[in-house]
Chain A
């Protein structure tokens, strides 16, 4: 069964450092998303990406965050200068409009720990 893969599974970084989280969405999907879940809290929407541009972003997704689809397969989330409060599990997801774009397939997540 097709799946969304995310790397790394866990990253520990120092505050102020740049972090790139990588995702390989399902190959025929057209919508891509990043969500995050701070420990014990809800899964929060960060950004959606369609047709090579951001289609929507939340207030969490400030200038420190960026997304990119550098080639036909990868979808990355960059945090330029990490803060302690960026520590969370980051989930990548993808979907296809033929099935309802919000029936998302999620990856297993990348846990980011900022020290």
Chain B
């Protein structure tokens, strides 16, 4: 039962270009969405979040877009840098205090 889906297991992007990571969810009760980033041999680290009352949240090079009607969110990284190469997990929760449900992750490769 995949409530949070990341359909692209991997993505390669040229350094300096925009990286777009996509995520779909099935549970309409989700009200809060997060992106986590994971390097090998480390735990996931929080990157950016968005609540359902917004459709966009920006933090430096990272922007998350939420389309509630389509149950879709995306993470944009611009410009992409070599240090952005990692696995990115989309996550969702019923509210800001609830457990988070992760997607399977998308491995992003930034090419020189």
Contacts and interface: CB of A to CB of B under 8 A. Distances in A.
A4 B42 CA distance: 11
Nearest to A107: B43
Q: Which of A41, A43, A106 has the most CB of B within 10 A?
A: A43
Given A4-B43, A106-B45, A42 B105 contact: yes
A108 B102 contact: no
Interface in A59-115: 91, 93, 97, 100-109
B43 A101 contact: no
B100 A102 contact: yes
Max chain B Cβ within 10 angstroms of own Cβ: one of A35, A93, A102, A105:
A102
A108 B45 CA distance: 10
A91 B44 contact: yes
Interface in A1-54: 4, 33, 35, 41-45, 48
A103 B34 CA distance: 8
Q: How large is the interface on B (under 10, 10 to 19, 20 to 34, 35 or more residues)?
A: 20 to 34
A102 B99 contact: yes
A4 to B, nearest CB: 7
A1 B73 CA distance: 30
A43 B102 contact: yes
B96 A102 contact: yes
B43 to A, nearest CB: 3
Given A42-B105, A45-B100, A101-B98, 5 more contacts: A4-B43, A56-B99, A102-B99, A106-B36, A108-B43
14 contacts: A42-B2, A42-B103, A42-B105, A43-B102, A91-B43, A97-B97, A100-B32, A100-B97, A102-B99, A103-B46, A106-B44, A108-B41, A108-B42, A108-B43
